Amino acid sequence: MGSSSDLNQLKQRLASARSLVVLTGAGISADSGVPTFRGADGLWRTYRAEELATPEAFERDPRLVWEWYNWRREFLATKRPNDAHYALAEWERRQGRFWLITQNVDGLHREAGSRKLSEIHGNIWMVRCTRCGWVEKNRSVPIPILPSCARCAGLLRPHIVWFGEALDPADLARCDEVLRTCDTLLIIGTSGVVYPAAGFAATAKRAGAFVGEINLDETPQTALADISLRGRAKDVVPLLLER
* Cβ atoms of residues 175 and 201 within 8 Å: no
- Residue 185's closest CA among 123, 228, 220? 228
Active site residues: 121
User: DSSP letter at 229?
Assistant: E
Distance CA 2, CA 11 (A): 13
Residue type, 222: T
- CB proximity list for 168: less than 8 A, separation 6 or greater: 120, 161
* Cβ atoms of residues 90 and 112 within 8 Å: no
* Cβ atoms of residues 80 and 32 within 8 Å: yes
